[in-house]
Amino acid sequence: MDIGALAAGDTLWLEDGSLVAVLAPSTNGETVKVRYVEAPFDASLIGSEADCSDYDIISFANESDIADSGLK
């Protein structure tokens, strides 16, 4: 995935099954700042922020994923 093409508000699936929302686009082209919306294997991550690389990101979340999470 092209990290530089991500924008604030995009929602993504991570390799660990977590759903995250992009907070800020990449400034270095290598990572993007996200906030955890769902984290099935570590509930303590929900609401926390992290920097993710393209290796962490699997895909964009689709509209039904977002609706189920309560983001919309």
What the block records as the tokens of 22 is: 């992009």
Element spanning 34, H or E: strand 31-38
Higher pLDDT, 62 or 39: 39
Of 27, 22, 33, 25, nearest to 61 (Cα)?
22
50 pLDDT above the threshold of 60: yes
What the block records as the tokens of 37 is: 């919306």
What pTM, to 2 d.p., does this model score?
0.83
Contact indicator for 65, 34 with CB cutoff of 8 Å:
no
Q: Which domains does the chain have, with CATH numbers?
A: 3-69 (2.30.30)
